[in-house]
């Protein structure tokens, strides 16, 4: 609804695609609901519901919108949706029929109808050809380190070194998107402060004040501790979902880039292992608050609720040294104890992997009464 609201504003019609996408994302982040649920330590709601999916009208969401009234009765992954929300989705179909990516990808109506038919009948499964960002691990490490403002400052220096219109357009879009992300964190800080005023339980009141302090800093600025680092990554992950298919966007090797913050906090007695585990557990649970919302055919083809948000554990560093650390073990424990749909844990094994770590992977996957939960891979140069 918010993306449509932005797109229908005639003031935005003449802008470049990069700027329009960045501004639309910022519009959503500035106007979507902001909720902090009871007992949460890591905050950020993907949608207006606790667990829900996304419909992207400008990408591949038209089919879902057309099927809105049948969503609760689907054979595979039926979705609860109010009658009012079904009407709202269906009402936007006429506007987006000639404005979505699939329509604009072809020059003539014949090819447009052919593509639509293939999507609807699964003759040629290409839903991601109508999508955007997918199947990658964003550079959360950089965002955590320098913050959205740091990226804005970096881009500003790049702008001063070029007159290339295409590059300047891209730099402008980056600044808009990063401003939206920073403001997104500000909204949670304000919400936490407001809730703390009303909270009577002293323990929860302090938690809310801590959340407000964390979100007052990240993701606008670089993180200074473990809690801030995980929160910054979480809000960035949620923000990506507002713009494109986020289901295949992966946190990546979080035991590597969160390690410095964890070890610093341990050394300064600001956190202990159990507290770090609770924060990471809250992050893992948060990933389960979004579900894929595809057409009936696409959902059936995928075989149900997918698990694509990969967290990669262990492996080697850039010099070939073993990269297993305490957070690697913590994440293994969470994989075993939570056993939730997301994240999809991948473990990297190499000839110098510690035997204790390897044995723990085997125990979790093949121990008595346990279902396989982690995927083991041999070392590679990819993330």
pLDDT tens-digit map of 333-356: 999 999 999 999 999 999 999 999
Q: How confident is the model at residue 124 (pLDDT cuts 50, 70, 90)?
A: low
> Which pLDDT belongs to residue 371?
55
- Specify the higher pLDDT residue, 378 or 363: 363
Lowest-confidence range among 139-148, 169-178, 359-368? 359-368
Residue boundaries of the structural domains of the chain: 250-383
> Which pLDDT belongs to residue 17?
94
> Which pLDDT belongs to residue 370?
52
Rounded-to-integer distance, Cα 88 and Cα 2, Å? 12
Q: 179-208: per-residue pLDDT in tens? A: 999 999 999 999 999 999 999 999 999 999
Q: Is 120 helix (H, G, I), strand (E, B) or coil?
A: helix
Q: Are residues 152 and 262 in contact, defined by beta-carbon separation less than 8 angstroms? A: no
- Specify the higher pLDDT residue, 127 or 130: 130
Q: 26-72: per-residue pLDDT in tens? A: 999 999 999 999 999 999 999 999 999 999 999 888 889 999 999 99
| pTM value surpassing 0.85 | yes
- Specify the higher pLDDT residue, 132 or 85: 85
Q: What's the mean per-residue pLDDT of the chain? A: 92
Q: How confident is the model at residue 130 (pLDDT cuts 50, 70, 90)?
A: low
> Which pLDDT belongs to residue 366?
86
CA torsion angle for 140, 285, 241, 46 (degrees, to 10)?
-130
Lowest-confidence range among 75-79, 94-98, 294-298, 318-322? 294-298
Residue 381 has pLDDT above 50, yes or no: no
Residue 138 has pLDDT above 60, yes or no: yes
Q: 209-248: per-residue pLDDT in tens? A: 999 999 999 999 999 999 999 999 999 999 999 998 888 8
User: Measured between alpha carbons, how far is residue 43 from residues 51, 184, 200 in Å?
Assistant: 14, 11, 20
Q: Are residues 372 and 339 in contact, defined by beta-carbon separation less than 8 angstroms? A: no
Q: How confident is the model at residue 131 (pLDDT cuts 50, 70, 90)?
A: low
User: Measured between alpha carbons, how far is residue 147 from residues 26, 59, 178, 237 in Å?
Assistant: 16, 29, 9, 14
Helices 140-159 and 165-198: crossing angle in degrees, nearest 10, is 130
The length of the chain in residues reads: 383
Q: Which residue has the tokens 């094994």?
A: 349
> Which pLDDT belongs to residue 374?
62
> Which pLDDT belongs to residue 301?
79
Phi, psi of 376 (to 5 degrees): -100, 135
Residue 377 has pLDDT above 70, yes or no: no
Mean of pLDDT values over 109-126: 72
> Which pLDDT belongs to residue 319?
96
> Which pLDDT belongs to residue 373?
55
Rounded-to-integer distance, Cα 112 and Cα 368, Å? 53
Mean of pLDDT values over 365-383: 55
Mean of pLDDT values over 286-315: 89
Rounded-to-integer distance, Cα 347 and Cα 43, Å? 27
Q: How confident is the model at residue 261 (pLDDT cuts 50, 70, 90)?
A: very high
Can you read off the two tokens belonging to residue 16? 């470049």
CB within 8 Å of 347: residues ≥ 6 apart: 312, 313, 314, 332, 361, 374, 375, 376, 377
Mean of pLDDT values over 146-152: 98
Q: How confident is the model at residue 86 (pLDDT cuts 50, 70, 90)?
A: very high
Rounded-to-integer distance, Cα 59 and Cα 96, Å? 10
Residue 378 has pLDDT above 90, yes or no: no
> Which pLDDT belongs to residue 382?
34
Give bridge partners of residue 311 from the DSSP assignment. Answer: 252, 345
Rounded-to-integer distance, Cα 228 and Cα 260, Å? 12
Mean of pLDDT values over 290-304: 84
Q: Is 154 helix (H, G, I), strand (E, B) or coil?
A: helix
Q: How confident is the model at residue 82 (pLDDT cuts 50, 70, 90)?
A: very high
């Amino acid at each position: 609804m918010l993306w449509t609201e932005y797109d229908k504003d005639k003031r935005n019609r003449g802008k470049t695609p990069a700027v329009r996408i960045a501004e639309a994302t910022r519009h959503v982040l500035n106007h979507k609901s902001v909720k902090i649920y009871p007992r949460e330590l890591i905050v950020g709601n993907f949608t207006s519901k606790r667990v829900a999916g996304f419909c992207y009208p400008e990408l591949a969401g038209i089919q879902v919108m057309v099927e809105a009234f049948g969503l609760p009765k689907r054979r595979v992954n039926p979705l609860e949706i109010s009658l009012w929300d079904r009407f709202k989705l269906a009402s936007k179909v006429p506007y987006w029929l000639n404005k979505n990516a699939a329509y604009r990808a072809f020059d003539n109506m014949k090819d447009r109808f052919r593509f639509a038919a293939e999507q609807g009948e699964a003759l040629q499964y290409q839903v991601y050809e109508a999508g955007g960002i997918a199947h990658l691990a964003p550079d959360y490490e950089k965002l955590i380190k320098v913050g959205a403002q740091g990226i804005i400052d970096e881009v500003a220096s790049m702008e001063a070194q070029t007159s290339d219109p295409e590059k300047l357009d891209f730099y402008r879009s980056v600044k808009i998107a990063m401003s939206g992300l920073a403001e997104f964190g500000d909204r949670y800080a304000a919400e936490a402060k407001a809730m703390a005023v009303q909270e009577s339980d002293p323990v929860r009141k302090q938690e809310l004040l801590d959340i407000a302090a964390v979100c007052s800093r990240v993701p606008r600025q670089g993180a200074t501790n473990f809690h801030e680092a995980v929160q910054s990554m979480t809000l960035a992950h949620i923000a990506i979902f507002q713009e494109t298919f986020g289901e295949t966007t992966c946190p990546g090797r979080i035991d590597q880039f969160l390690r410095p913050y964890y070890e610093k906090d341990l050394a300064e007695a600001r956190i202990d292992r159990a507290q770090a585990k609770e924060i990471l557990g809250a992050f893992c649970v948060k990933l389960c608050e979004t579900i894929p919302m595809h057409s009936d055919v696409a959902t059936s083809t995928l075989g149900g609720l997918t698990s694509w948000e990969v967290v990669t554990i262990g492996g080697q560093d850039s010099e070939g040294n073993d990269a297993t650390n305490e957070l690697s073990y913590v994440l293994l424990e969470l994989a075993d104890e939570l056993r939730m749909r997301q994240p999809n844990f991948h473990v990297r094994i190499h000839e110098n992997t510690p035997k204790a770590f390897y044995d723990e992977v085997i125990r979790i996957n093949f121990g008595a009464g346990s279902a396989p939960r982690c995927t083991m891979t041999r070392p590679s140069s990819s993330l």
